[in-house]
């Protein structure tokens, strides 16, 4: 799944709790792709929403 | 002996470490709790706006308000947060060399912490060692959504949903963000060059949102039936004034959270000081100061509005206006001073709203006046009484500009322009695309019947306007 850790045991050692992303895809290009997909979805939703709204006003 | 000293040193280090953990967790919890408190602002605006709407349009107003909240928060994540960190010194210095003396601004800095992709993504999501980014982002996202909610009420019963959402995105994720970068950031050029001071965002949230609404209103036009042929105005009553008034009171509850989030806590890497809370400018501030001044301002505004109106709607609007009128200087005003200023704000509120209506502008909830006019009033009043107070905390370089009337007036003009110009331009473009105003025939028929697959009230509950159809 591209998660940042294989085991949590090391995190609880000294200096194991560090400043880094702890989400799926951390350290890879996946967050960027998620952002692109979410942005495209939002624009598409606005376009569809506007089309539906204009139909109501006809 | 040496062993005892070593043991005590180790114990001291452990105690200090534990104290730092406590401080960090307290700070995280503090800002986190401001977020649900600020959600109450939106619950309040939702009730306020729907109550001021006629029965035939209630749910459409609710949809419009909810979507503005949602799209503003999402787009603030995608790009609004980046603008806040990128633009403080622009255009005084170039964007490329934009980092100010605090070294927490500019293109490179913003791109390293506030973009949801690349290396900065680690600060835009769950992070093991970062207890600050998410809660600060959350508080700012709710500030952003507040700007959209402020403007939303002015436009009820005739603005299209998607057209409004586009306007709300520009307001919540760009216009007010630029204002915040310039005037609500230690590197902001309004602060460093003019000593601009706006602790509680009277200008950069309220005035920007109020005048953004005015820009839209000029392109949108009034509701059908608002003005007669001779230019005189008709009163269009909302369907549920108790709902509106309760909503306004909820907004006040949320304001306590909003203003609480304007304090920078001590003892963290991002704090101004190790042991004292400050404003965002690094100047002294405490929650106790807020407790005195916000409660008094709310009360002063209610009383001031009651003097001339005797109307609970305007009294609660006066309550908002009272707080907004002193928001810029909540950190420096004395309680009795707050009473005076907020009384005046409450008194001038209704005449200002009537003047605007006399110009043929249909501001359905008085948002332009309550937030725009009173916001600017508050900025200038602070310039009158607060001139000479240092504008930045001790970490600022010597010779930093102090608060002044001139600086506050410059800031007020900038806030007006940052609200009005984007509001006018984006609504003009949306209007050109045919996405701004709902056709008059649909307004007359009622918006909910045309585009909402639900009804607000049982069929047995009818209103005067639904009776007439």
The predicted complex's ipTM stands at 0.92
pLDDT at B320 over 90: yes
Cβ neighbours for B201, distance < 8 A, ≥ 6 positions apart:
B143, B180, B184, B258, B262, B327
Residue B263 φ then ψ, to 5°:
-95, 135
**Residues in chain A within 8 Å Cβ distance of B118:** 31-32
| A19, A32, A46 ranked by CB distance to B129: nearest | A19
CB environment A2-41: b (16+ within 10 A), e (fewer): eebeeeeeeeeeeeeeeeebbbebbeeebbeebbeeeeee
The string of DSSP codes covering B282-341 is S-B--HHHHHHHHHHHHHHHHHHHHHHH--HHHHHHHHHHHHHHHHTTTTT--HHHHHHH
Query: What whole-number distance in Å separates Cα of residue B435 and Cα of residue B445?
Result: 19
Instruction: From chain A, pick out residues whose CB is under 8 angstroms from the CB of B128.
Output: 11, 17-20, 22
* Greatest CA separation for chain A: 67
Tens-digit pLDDT profile for residues B113-167: 999 999 999 999 999 889 999 999 999 999 999 999 999 999 999 999 999 999 9
User: Is B442 close to A26, i.e. CB distance below 8 A?
Assistant: no
Chosen CATH of B25-467 out of 3.30.450.20, 3.40.50.10860, 1.10.150.650, 1.10.3430.10? 1.10.3430.10
pLDDT by residue (tens digit) across A3-43? 777 777 777 776 667 778 888 898 899 999 999 999 999 99
Measured over the CA atoms of residue B261, residue B266, residue B268 and residue B271, the dihedral's sign is positive
Chain A residues whose beta carbon lies within 8 Å of the beta carbon of residue B73 = none
Indicate the domain borders of chain B. Answer: 25-467
The closest CB to that of A31, out of B78, B117, B438, belongs to B117
Residue of B29, B285, B209, B222 lying closest to B132 (CA atoms): B29
User: In the beta sheet, which residues pair with residue B390?
Assistant: B402
Q: Please state, in angstroms and as integers, the Cα–Cα distance from residue B169 to each residue in B25, B73, B107, B186, B418, following that order.
A: 32, 9, 21, 25, 14
- Greater confidence, B272 or B416? B416
Distance CA B88, CA B222 (A): 37
Q: Is the pLDDT of residue B323 over 80?
A: yes
Question: Does A46 contact B166 at a Cβ distance shorter than 8 Å?
Answer: yes
Torsion of Cα atoms, B360 then B171 then B377 then B401, to 10°:
-150
Q: Is the pLDDT of residue B215 over 50?
A: yes
Q: How many CB pairs under 8 A join A and B?
A: 71
Of the candidates B125, B165, B450, which has its C-beta nearest A21's C-beta?
B125
| Residue B467 pLDDT > 50 | no
Q: pLDDT tens across B375-402, in order? A: 999 999 999 999 999 888 876 666 678 9
Scanning every residue of chain B, which has its alpha carbon at the shortest distance from the alpha carbon of A8?
A: B128
Tell me which of A43, A56, A58 to substitute to probe the interface with B (most B C-beta atoms closer than 10 Å).
A56
Q: Do A57 and B442 touch (CB under 8 A)?
A: yes
Percent of chain B with pLDDT over 90: 84
Cα(B158)–Cα(A10) distance, integer angstroms: 59
Q: What is the DSSP letter of B439?
A: P
| Chain A residues touching B74 at Cβ < 8 A | 38, 42
Minimum distance, in Å, between the CA of residue B286 and any CA atom of chain A:
30
Model confidence pLDDT, tens digit, residues B58-96:
999 999 999 999 999 999 999 999 999 999 988 887 776
CB B177 within 8 A of CB B201: no
Give the pLDDT of residue B396: 67
């Amino acid at each position: 799944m591209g998660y940042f850790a294989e085991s949590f045991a090391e995190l609880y050692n000294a200096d194991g709790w560090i400043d880094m992303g702890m989400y799926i895809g951390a350290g890879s290009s996946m967050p960027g792709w998620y952002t692109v997909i979410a942005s495209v979805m939002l624009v598409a939703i606005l376009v569809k929403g506007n089309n539906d709204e204009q139909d109501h006003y006809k | 002996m040496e062993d005892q000293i070593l043991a005590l040193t180790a114990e001291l280090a452990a105690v200090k470490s534990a104290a730092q953990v406590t401080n960090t967790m307290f700070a995280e919890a503090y800002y986190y709790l401001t977020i649900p408190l600020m959600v109450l602002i939106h619950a309040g605006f939702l009730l306020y706006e729907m109550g001021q709407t006629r029965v035939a349009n209630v749910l459409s107003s609710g949809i419009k308000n909810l979507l503005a909240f949602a799209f503003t928060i999402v787009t603030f994540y995608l790009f609004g947060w980046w603008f806040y960190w990128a633009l403080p010194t622009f255009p005084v210095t170039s964007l490329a060399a934009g980092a100010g003396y605090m070294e927490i601004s500019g293109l490179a800095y913003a791109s390293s912490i506030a973009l949801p992709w690349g290396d900065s993504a680690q600060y835009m999501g769950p992070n093991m060692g970062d207890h600050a980014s998410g809660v600060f982002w959350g508080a700012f996202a709710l500030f952003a959504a507040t700007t959209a909610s402020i403007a939303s009420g002015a436009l009820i019963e005739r603005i299209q949903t998607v057209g409004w959402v586009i306007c709300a995105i520009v307001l919540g994720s760009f216009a007010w963000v630029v204002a915040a970068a310039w005037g609500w950031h230690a590197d902001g050029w309004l602060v460093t060059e003019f000593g601009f001071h706006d602790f509680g965002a009277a200008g950069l949230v309220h005035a920007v949102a109020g005048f953004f609404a005015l820009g839209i209103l000029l392109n949108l036009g009034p509701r059908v039936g608002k003005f007669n042929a001779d230019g005189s105005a008709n009163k269009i009553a909302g369907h549920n004034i108790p709902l509106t008034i309760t909503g306004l009171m909820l907004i006040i509850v949320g304001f306590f959270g909003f203003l609480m989030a304007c304090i920078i806590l001590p003892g963290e890497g991002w704090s101004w000081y190790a042991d004292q809370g400050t404003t965002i400018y690094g100047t002294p501030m405490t929650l106790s100061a807020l407790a005195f001044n916000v409660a008094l301002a709310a009360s002063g505004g209610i009383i001031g509005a009651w003097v001339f109106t005797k109307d609970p709607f305007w009294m609660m609007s006066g309550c908002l206006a009272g707080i907004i009128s002193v928001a810029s200087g909540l950190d420096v005003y004395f309680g009795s001073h707050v009473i005076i200023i907020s009384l005046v704000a409450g008194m001038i509120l209704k005449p200002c709203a009537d003047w605007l209506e006399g110009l043929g502008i249909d501001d359905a909830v008085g948002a332009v006046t309550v937030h725009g006019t009173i916001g600017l009033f508050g900025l200038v009043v602070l310039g009158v009484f607060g001139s000479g107070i240092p504008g930045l905390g001790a970490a600022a370089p010597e010779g930093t500009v102090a608060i002044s009337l001139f600086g506050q007036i410059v800031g007020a003009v900038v806030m007006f322009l940052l609200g009005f110009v984007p509001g006018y331009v984006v609504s003009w473009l949306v209007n050109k695309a045919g996405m701004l105003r709902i056709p008059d025939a649909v307004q007359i028929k009622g918006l909910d019947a045309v585009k909402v697959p639900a009804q607000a009230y049982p069929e047995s509950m009818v209103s005067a306007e639904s009776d007439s159809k």
